[in-house]
Structure 1
């Protein structure tokens, strides 16, 4: 059974030790596990162990929200320049730093769990990129781990994974640029 870790930060170690010593001295019988957790929690300034856990969970959630990565607006702006108003990739970026996000945009258009034949991949990539090098895109999708192909190269599948935070703003920008 896995355990949830609840970090305990003690700002005043001396006060913690004094409180814990006093509580332990008042006890006659040995402490059970839950009683010990409650004593430690009270010595740290909480009502009981449940209060400590609840506070710990709230603090962890706050930290998660605060640590959420921000999208790189400059990167998105530079990548958008490589797409036309219909969201078609007009040219392959020379800068390696822009290429993965372009591929993520193509990856997002592939259906999850669907197997694509070589001919279907070629047709899709030619539709999504107007510069006419579907083989470059296909190789890049596979080599960077966005898609997988069978050893004979006949079937392609999108690899499900968490996209970067820049993908959603990029797709919103590309969709906003589309003419009605």
Structure 2
């Protein structure tokens, strides 16, 4: 017969160890020894290992950006994209252009060298005004993509997008997933 696991949760191990020590009475080991025993029972080497792992987990849960995304700028950029996540027109404002480029950057496969026609195909799927050359050149000038001097082997430059770009990419990813597959539904202009 298999046993059903029973989860144990203690918000503070110190209080848990003290309560356990009271139950054990005179036979209880020292507080520190008991804390180390509990840490080992939880799968850690000792109490210090458990403290370090807990602190690291908290740091990883915290967002890296100290400033939140500018929601108004992200909203302005979102207005430049259709319901399927395609760029409708080239934005007039520079800040919105930059965010739009990040959205196109996210559509390119990471770590893969592409030929010019492959980049053009991807960009054509992601915008409606049929000017992949301008988008390609602007992405290179902005440091989002690189190419060889002879115009071959385009590659997305891997980097961390700013907070606004991350928010825009997240919103557009949802729109792109809802987009009908190629050959289905209505096409784009």
Distance in 2, matches of 1:115 and 1:174, equals: 24
Aligned to 1:160, the other structure's residue is in SS state: coil
1:173 positional shift: 2.1
RMSD value, Cα: 2.3
1:150 positional shift: 0.4
Q: Deviations over 1:141-170 (max 9, x none)?
A: 100000001000021001111111112321
Unaligned runs of 5+ in 1: 1-53
1:66 positional shift: 9.3
TM-score normalised to the size of structure 1?
Answer: 0.61
Q: Deviations over 1:64-122 (max 9, x none)?
A: 86971200100000000110011011101011111111010111111111001011011
Whether 2:101 is the aligned partner of 1:103: answer yes
Q: Deviations over 1:41-84 (max 9, x none)?
A: xxxxxxxxxxxxx9xx99xx6xx869712001000000001100
Question: How many residues align structurally?
Answer: 121
Match among 172, 179, 188 for residue 174 of structure 1: 172
Whether 2:73 is the aligned partner of 1:75: answer yes
Residue 88 of structure 1 is matched in structure 2 by: 86
Give the alignment of 1:20-169 within 5 angstroms. Answer: 68-169=66-167
Aligned to 1:174, the other structure's residue is in SS state: helix
Unaligned runs of 5+ in 2: 1-51, 181-189
TM-score normalised to the size of structure 2?
Answer: 0.58
Change (3 A) 1:114 1:179: closer
Distance in 2, matches of 1:169 and 1:124, equals: 21
